[in-house]
Amino acid sequence: MSLSIEIRESRGVRTLHFGSDWVQGAMRVSRPWDLELAYTREMMAALILSPTWPSMPLSILQIGLGAGSLTRFIHRYLPEARQIVVELSPAVVGAARQMFQLPPPSERLNVVIADGAQWVVQAAQTFDLILVDGFDADSKTGDLETLGFYQHCRSLLKPSGVLVANLLSRSSGFLEACLTLTTAFDGRIRLLPQTPGGNVIALTSVQDTVSLDESALRTRALLLAESCNLDLRGLVERMISEAPGLPFGITS
């Protein structure tokens, strides 16, 4: 089924829509490399858990392109990273290239037009980080929240790898998706506090990740703000206030 692509712009922010008011991606025209939407910033909270901190992930897989927000951010601020982006719709890829400054293909960036759930079945490369953010015009994910998909993604992660999934709290399948992720990753799941837009970011990992106390968490958030213009300090304070004294990490 073809998508109805619509581009809007207001107050310096350009947004992508699939024939409705639902925002599928956004870019501040004056700062195209930064992450405009809160949930995209929080998807990159996985950087805080890098096992080789302050080094960042070198191989990244994205399922779902949207307006290319995560792709632009990684391309700009993680210059050593290599990205593969899998997007189902050629029209979305075209819009990202024409209207959202998607970087051109290179050794660092390969955009593949394919069904993400099918692509991971045949893939052989392994990744440090997998980002899953694929929705259609009705905010449905298709097969991107099934146990089989998550298991295939896990098989593509390196031993220290992390998978990040954007989930919608108001979706009827939200709880099931959380339980499915929990099963696929043997209980290693961490849900971040819900964003104002209703997004809940799930962090999962193959192995237990580093556990950060409040001081280390704040230090890493500050360094990300300074090096990547990625300000997660508000998120960090929310997490600390909700679970004071408990370390931040992903464990079973």
Which residues are designated catalytic?
133
Residues in the chain: 252
**Cα distance between residue 79 and residue 58, in whole Å:** 9
- Strand pairing report for 157-168 and 127-132: parallel
Quick check: 71 and 221 in contact, CB under 8 A? no
Taking the C-alpha atoms of residue 133 and residue 23, their distance in angstroms, rounded to an integer, is 13
CA distance 81 to 88: 23
Q: Could you give the C-alpha distances from 62 to 113, 234, 246, in angstroms and in order?
A: 12, 25, 30
What gap in Å lies between CA 207 and CA 121, rounded to an integer? 21
